[in-house]
Structure 1
Amino acid sequence: MRYKYLVVLLIFKLGVVSVAFGQQQNRPNIVWIVSEDNSKHYLKLFDEHGAETPNIEKLANHGILFSRAFSNTPVCSAARSTLITSSYGPRLATHYHRKIKKVPTPDGVEMFPAYLRRAGYYTTNNAKEDYNVVKANNVWDESSSKASWRNREGNQPFFHVQNIGTTHESRLHFTEEEMRKGTETDMASMFVQPNHPQTELFKYSNARYHDKIKQMDAELGAVVAELKKDGLLKNTFIFYYGDHGGVLPGSKGYINEMGVHVPLVVHIPDEYRHLAPAEVGSTNDAFVSFVDFGVTVLNLAGLKVPKGMDGKPFLGKGVSVTDLEKRKETFSYADRFDEKYDMVRAVRKGKFKYTRNYQPFNFDGLMNNYRYKQLGYQQWHDLYEANKLNTVQARFFEPKQPEELYDLEADPYETNNLANKAEYQNILKELRANLNSRVSKMPDLSFYPEFFLIKNAFDNPVAFGQRHKKDIKKYIKTANLMLLDFEKAKSKIAKGLHSSDPWERYWALINCSAFGMEAKEFAGQAAEIAIHDSELINKVRAAEFLGLIRFQDPVEVMTKALYNSNDGAEALLILNSIVLMKDCQYAYDFNIVKSQVNQKVLEEPEVQRRLEYIGLKDL
């Protein structure tokens, strides 16, 4: 009897395993093939000036081409953190590149592959991670340059990520000697976008990058061939996309369309056509963003989307053609990229794009070491200094407007700002309200300086944001004073300058710098803040304003603040203002003595880059 019981029990258990395994087999496989640093503009499939990509075109012929896909943010670690969490970076504090400190995922939420793995998927990543969020051990079965779906057991369903670095920005770190060797793509045929200098160097850069796009396409084709060899195309969704925009000057690191509008093609397998709301072989104009990619994978796998994620699925069960037609907006963000600080947000709705520059005096061309390794950046800057650029090309090196509005159908390279034109005020106000609602509800943590967040919020940024939602709304309201006429704003700016809240003073000072000479009446008070404020960064912001209006030389105040800082992240923000003062039209002269900079500050790599650029004295 005991023997018969064991046999029955074994048969029962095998039956349970068989059912569970059968359920796994009914799930589709999902593969992401990711190319680095290229916006949709470099593929002819998406743009008339792009390169031919026959392998990606084959995927599109048996899938859906999404013509409105966006990375949310224009640089690697911030974009990949958005992908892996399916959440907006400014809410999680994952949007600073490169990370000074990693943050945890929100309470009760995991990186999305962990849910797949728990459901029986084999999860692999080959091989780039680059997350600004702490990774748990339950995310990948394998994450390495050798990771492959072929290491799974039997017919176990899998999720695989294949990264292709061929198109990375570093591929344009060429020398003049390399340039003389020419390119496979005909340089003479190259289109140079209107905000770039129309030079041979920029033609060569475009042609060289087209060569890299074609090479990437061949490498993608090799991955697809391996899937076909294994008989997997019939039950595998294949996503091809760029990990953010780029790569020529003024794109990677900037939230214009060249920085965030990415190519996306999804191959639809025959066995799972019912999970695609659009026809195979079609082009779809639905707005989809990186926050949506992870939850879309979960939905394709038949898994419930966790409540703590921001994205919405655009494929899978429950998604209809009508749902796709309603998707007409995307939200983008940019903050610190390496050693360069700025704070920019954007909302695109349909053909209109609204960009909000919260610190408009931080001109786009401000020194960023890695960017300026490109000869294109160097030439662009040199031509500006030589006064050889037209108005559109010169904008990159000049202060911005707090608000920008573009009709992207008429002006795809964002050269004609419509924000001050009377006939566009209704759409401007609508998109302004849209963006203000987003940053308030999120809430957007960047209304605090990064160094303050690292000290006070990074153990649980989401919870910190919820606790300080009222304060953040107050800072947003203060920051938006620069959108008013100065006469209407000045009494509130004065109140902010007198506030007991250091971050209200911080934003009041930024308003002064944004208004420039209009705010000269606050110069005396700013001079007092530069001496007496309790926060070093407020002393620096006050000196920055005084320097921008040429009321007072900012060198002494900023240099002293740098010497008094013992926090690398705080010092980095101070150094951003120092570089701005050095490179602005007044070219203030700084003499930083290395021995007077705190050793702890010197340990921060991004600080080292700034100090190398400024130049140090050893006394």
Structure 2
Amino acid sequence: MKFKLSLVICLIALQVFTACSQKTKPVEVERPNIVWIVSEDNSKHYLKMFDEHGATAPNIESLAADGLTYTHAFSNAAVCSAARSTLISASYGPRLATHYHRKMEQVPLPEGVEMFPAYLKRAGYHTTNNAKEDYNLFKADNVWDMSSKKATWRDRKEGQPFYHVFNIGTTHESRLHFTREDMKKGTKTDVNSVFVQPNHPQTELFKFTNAYYHDKIQQMDTEVGEVIAKLKEDGLYDSTFIFYYGDHGGVLPGSKGYINEMGVHVPLVVHIPSKYKHLVDETPGTKVDGFVSFIDFGATVLNLAGVELPKGIDGKPFLGKGVSGKEVAKRDETFSYADRFDEKYDMVRAVRKGKFKYTRNFQPFNFNGLMNNYRYKQLAYQEWLELYEAGKLNEIQSQFFEPKHAEELYDVEADPFETNNLADKPEYIETVKELRANLNNRMKSMPDLSVYPEFYLKKVAFSNPVEFGQQHKKDIEAYLEVANLNILKFEDAKVKIDENLKSDDAWKRYWALNTCSSFGKEANEFVSVAKEIAKSDSVLINKVKAAEFLGLVGKQNPVNVMTKALYDTKDGAEAVLMLNSIVLMKDGAHKYKFNIKQDKINKITLEEPLVLRRLEYINKK
């Protein structure tokens, strides 16, 4: 009897143990596959599904048929490395110092934050990239299983979920570096059928360039179709989220490299796989009008994959569990930034909220058309400049080669090419105030590191940019306050300008000098102070900035001061900034003549390739 009782107890215990074991055994989460198909350098304006003047793209349109079309998707930066660094980090470039194109030096992510594919790998994903990276960040070994032109999802383990990026270079800017001889071959697209935007010359060359690019868009669409076909061939189409998007805007003159709508408003279509419709609070086959930006893309992928979002990123998901379609529809803001593009410097920030776009030019004297060697390989760029110099452009077409306004406001629904600045119109005062405050709050809260010159950040901050920013928040706010003097009326700003020109702080003097250059001849009362700074400032770049102001207002030839500073510096990054001012003086209204002797420049300075690129242009016969 005792034996039977013991046996019963043992059997009951075994059943309880088995049941408990089954309950505590981790449940395997079935995760969707995710593919990004990325075309280079094309804004949404070149696709008919987004813009009436665009080309048809049947393969991309097929993704939209059972997916979502995002009408307000934005790159936060308008050029490759800055945009791709934003994507891979899910964070704003000016906070991380990843927004300069291209890197003079790579920077680390903040402590505890990784490139987002690393989190996918940890969750069991096979991660591959084919093939462009172009990051301004250090990349750890745990990001990609493979990143090359051979990378494919087909190398994964059986049943393993995957994240795959496929880059298409067919629409890249370099494809428009055709010659006059190439033009004789013609285009498939009728040159007389294309739209030439109103700020461009209405010439045969611009018609041809648009038609030629339409051909490239259609070729790119064919390549998109090839990726889709492979997924279907492998039986993966119904279990894979497919994102198609452009890596930033472009690519005709005045788009790539500039944070106007042509530079940052990108196409985005997301195919919703039937197997994972439950992860999406939207109806497939519809349009989403809410604003999404590149900072959000990585967060969205992680959320779709069921991976917890890391602390320390700036983006938030627009698809996946817990994301409400109604909430996404209410999103109506995007923030964008532009600084150095190759050898050309500027500092521009913009906030778009709904239909209004507020653009802040911190150095408005740096006109948009300032020489960038790579941009001007395009025949259309060359012709645009030639027509301007010949006086054959109208007012709107000429804006590209003339000083900008410190503040710009556009109704981009009524004025998509941003030709009619509303910032000074009385009826828009409150809109300007609201968006100005929005932008300043963003720059302070990050904080935005660009109030320091890049060469200085490279020396003191690039080992840990985020930590540097947090430690110097008050200084950054103070420099931003000086930089913002150029949006005031001169009479309201001049006391503070005078105070900061005489400051012991080098960067307050730097921004006070930029402010003088912004006001131009209105600031002539500071000519004597500027002459003293140009002669004796302890910081070389401030001597150059003082000479820049004096040169712009025609009160002193800047050649000797700028040339000597260039010879004296032992910092290639500082020299690139100096050379930007030299090119501005050379090509600006006064056409100052420089004769720079390369053998007088420090050998260390000449190790920076961008210095050589500028010298090539300046010394060109």
TM over 0.5: yes
Which of 251, 254, 263 is the matching residue for 1:250? Answer: 254
- In structure 2, C-alpha distance between the alignment counterparts of 1:409 and 1:94, rounded to whole Å: 31
Name the amino acid aligned to 1:580: L
- After TM superposition, the score normalised by the length of structure 2 is 0.96
In structure 1, the partner of 2:340 is 336
- In structure 1, C-alpha distance between the alignment counterparts of 2:569 and 2:46, rounded to whole Å: 44
8 Å contact kept, 1:540–1:561: yes
Map 1:83-98 → 2, pairs under 5 A: 83-98=87-102
Map 1:6-85 → 2, pairs under 5 A: 23-24=28-29, 26-85=30-89
Q: By how many angstroms is 1:70 displaced?
A: 0.3
- After TM superposition, the score normalised by the length of structure 1 is 0.96
- In structure 2, C-alpha distance between the alignment counterparts of 1:534 and 1:116, rounded to whole Å: 50
1:397 aligns with 2:398: no
Deviations along 1:413-450, one digit per CA (max 9) or x if unpaired, are 00000000000111011000000000010100000000
Q: By how many angstroms is 1:616 displaced?
A: 7.4
8 Å contact kept, 1:591–1:616: no
Q: By how many angstroms is 1:267 displaced?
A: 0.2
Q: Which runs of 5+ in 2 are unaligned?
A: 1-13
In structure 2, the partner of 1:99 is 103
Q: Which runs of 5+ in 1 are unaligned?
A: 1-7
Helix, strand or coil for the counterpart of 1:356? strand
Deviations along 1:167-226, one digit per CA (max 9) or x if unpaired, are 000000000010111100010101000000000000000000000000000000000000
Q: By how many angstroms is 1:601 displaced?
A: 1.0
Deviations along 1:106-150, one digit per CA (max 9) or x if unpaired, are 111000000000010000000000000000000000001000000
- In structure 1, C-alpha distance between the alignment counterparts of 2:434 and 2:160, rounded to whole Å: 49
Which of 190, 197, 203 is the matching residue for 2:194? Answer: 190
8 Å contact kept, 1:592–1:616: no
Q: By how many angstroms is 1:19 displaced?
A: 7.1
Q: By how many angstroms is 1:258 displaced?
A: 0.2
Name the amino acid aligned to 2:436: R
Name the amino acid aligned to 2:400: F
- In structure 1, C-alpha distance between the alignment counterparts of 2:587 and 2:397, rounded to whole Å: 18
Deviations along 1:455-490, one digit per CA (max 9) or x if unpaired, are 000000000000000000001100000111111100
Which of 600, 603, 608 is the matching residue for 1:599? Answer: 603
- In structure 1, C-alpha distance between the alignment counterparts of 2:210 and 2:556, rounded to whole Å: 44
- In structure 2, C-alpha distance between the alignment counterparts of 1:381 and 1:276, rounded to whole Å: 48
- In structure 2, C-alpha distance between the alignment counterparts of 1:547 and 1:528, rounded to whole Å: 14
Q: Kindly tell me: are residues 27 and 518 of structure 1, through their superposed partners in 2, closer, same or farther at Cα, counting changes over 3 Å?
A: same
Deviations along 1:557-601, one digit per CA (max 9) or x if unpaired, are 000000001000000000000000000010000000111001111
- In structure 2, C-alpha distance between the alignment counterparts of 1:186 and 1:584, rounded to whole Å: 38
Name the amino acid aligned to 2:28: Q
In structure 2, the partner of 1:3 is none
- In structure 2, C-alpha distance between the alignment counterparts of 1:587 and 1:535, rounded to whole Å: 26
In structure 2, the partner of 1:157 is 161
Q: By how many angstroms is 1:603 displaced?
A: 1.2
Q: By how many angstroms is 1:234 displaced?
A: 1.1
Q: Kindly tell me: are residues 384 and 566 of structure 1, through their superposed partners in 2, closer, same or farther at Cα, counting changes over 3 Å?
A: same
1:220 aligns with 2:224: yes
Deviations along 1:85-123, one digit per CA (max 9) or x if unpaired, are 000000000000011000001111000000000010000
Helix, strand or coil for the counterpart of 2:508? helix
8 Å contact kept, 1:62–1:280: yes
- In structure 1, C-alpha distance between the alignment counterparts of 2:125 and 2:92, rounded to whole Å: 26
Which of 463, 468, 479 is the matching residue for 1:459? Answer: 463
Identical pairs, percent: 70
Map 1:106-505 → 2, pairs under 5 A: 106-505=110-509
Q: By how many angstroms is 1:613 displaced?
A: 0.4
Q: By how many angstroms is 1:252 displaced?
A: 0.2
8 Å contact kept, 1:594–1:616: no
Deviations along 1:5-43, one digit per CA (max 9) or x if unpaired, are xxx9xxx9xx99x977x725x100000000000000000
- In structure 1, C-alpha distance between the alignment counterparts of 2:227 and 2:330, rounded to whole Å: 34
Q: By how many angstroms is 1:409 displaced?
A: 1.1
8 Å contact kept, 1:56–1:240: yes
Name the amino acid aligned to 1:312: K
In structure 2, the partner of 1:507 is 511
Deviations along 1:507-550, one digit per CA (max 9) or x if unpaired, are 00000000000000000000000011111000000000000000
- In structure 1, C-alpha distance between the alignment counterparts of 2:84 and 2:380, rounded to whole Å: 26
Map 1:568-579 → 2, pairs under 5 A: 568-579=572-583
RMSD (Å), alpha carbons: 1.4
Helix, strand or coil for the counterpart of 1:129? coil
8 Å contact kept, 1:62–1:281: yes
Helix, strand or coil for the counterpart of 1:65? strand
Name the amino acid aligned to 2:522: E
- In structure 1, C-alpha distance between the alignment counterparts of 2:477 and 2:28, rounded to whole Å: 48
Helix, strand or coil for the counterpart of 2:617? helix
Q: By how many angstroms is 1:323 displaced?
A: 1.3
Map 1:541-552 → 2, pairs under 5 A: 541-552=545-556
8 Å contact kept, 1:593–1:616: no
Q: Work out which of the two has the higher radius of gyration on C-alpha atoms and give 1 or 2.
A: 2
- In structure 2, C-alpha distance between the alignment counterparts of 1:327 and 1:287, rounded to whole Å: 5
